[in-house]
Amino acid sequence: MAPRSLEQRKADTLELLRTTEDAWIATAGSAGAHLVPLGFWWDGEILTMTTPTETPTARNADATGRARVAVGPTRDVVMIAGSVEVTSPADTPASVRRGFAEATGWDPEWNPGEWVYLRIRPERVQAWREADEIEGRTIMRAGRWLS
């Protein structure tokens, strides 16, 4: 099979983000790197996730404002690097909280404890399936989709 075009990779990536609810998020801080699976919601511009306030993921994201996210299986992966805004539920718009709950079928308000929302704005997106798609895998750079 021939490598996908840039346009097809972007379309496939947007469809994957729209229809998938789980991803791996990687953050790093003074205690080292941390990688966990979390549910997410893609609103067309921002990935929203939630985690307890005291997790290494929340602390790292709050300290550095950075994260990397992997969506999809290893042979059809989308890698996203971006800035992270960490907000309390009270500081997160109701539309975002509702969108996350509808997309994932779960609401942090159902669980005890303090939670934060992680709002990840992609700055770099890469998409590839096999070795023949390594070249040209970057489909967003500096927050702009390539064309």
pLDDT of the residue at 17: 98
Query: Tokens in use for 53?
Result: 């306030």
Residue by residue, what is the 3-state secondary structure of 49-94?
EEEECCCHHHHHHHHHCEEEEEECCCCCEEEEEEEEEEECHHHCCH
pLDDT of the residue at 140: 98
pLDDT of the residue at 141: 98
Domain segments of the chain: what residues? 6-137
pLDDT by 10s per residue, the chain, length 147 = 799 999 999 999 999 999 999 999 999 998 889 999 999 999 999 999 999 999 999 999 999 999 999 999 999 999 999 999 999 999 999 999 999 999 999 999 898 889 999 999 999 999 999 999 999 999 999 999 999
pLDDT of the residue at 116: 97
Fold that domain 6-137 belongs to in CATH: Pnp Oxidase; Chain A (2.30.110)
- Cβ atoms within 10 A of the Cβ of 65, count? 13
pLDDT of the residue at 82: 98
